[in-house]
Amino acid sequence: MANLKPEDKWFYGEGREAHGIIQAHVCNRTPDPRIANIKKRFYVVERYDFDPRCRLSFTVEDKVKIVGYVDGRDKQFTKFLEIKTSSTPWSAGKFQKSMQRKLYGLGHHSFRESHLITGSRKPEDWVVSPLKTYVVPVTASD
């Protein structure tokens, strides 16, 4: 089975820094005044790459194993967090259609809500262009 690798440019660049700041804020470890508008809290966030506390895996038809890592989740595994930072923030519609979001719903059947935090990958932009949040239900049709 082939392993897919993250894109080095994003994975080890600005996107990673932004993720770390947002994750530290939403778990209340290091609140950041630039994103004080983000009120939702997640009990578990990735503390390092491929954190097993955020791992989801399942097998499709005994042929394909899918493994993913949510950016955050609540204690009860009913809500998960996805963070998308880029030069073009995601819309609620794009997140709703995201295959990644749907696969995470399959990976843990108790998930009922998916949460997106999106905005610029540059933290210095967040004061003028605040991060946005969206909540999309995880449904059987996903």
pLDDT digit string, tens, across residues 83-115: 999 989 999 999 999 999 999 988 888 999 999
What is the pLDDT at residue 10?
A: 44
What is the pLDDT at residue 132?
A: 97
| Exposure string for 49-81, b = 16+ CB within 10 A, e = fewer | eeeeebebeeeeeeeeeeebbbbbbbeeeebbb
What is the pLDDT at residue 98?
A: 94
Phi, psi (deg, nearest 5) at residue 124: -65, -20
Residue 107, Cβ neighbours under 10 Å: how many? 18
Mean pLDDT of 56-85: 92
What is the pLDDT at residue 8?
A: 45
Q: Are strands 72-73 and 79-85 parallel, antiparallel or unpaired?
A: antiparallel
**pTM of the predicted model, to two decimals?**
0.88
What is the pLDDT at residue 13?
A: 60
pLDDT digit string, tens, across residues 6-47: 544 445 566 789 999 999 999 999 999 999 999 999 999 999
What is the pLDDT at residue 99?
A: 93
Phi, psi (deg, nearest 5) at residue 36: -60, -20
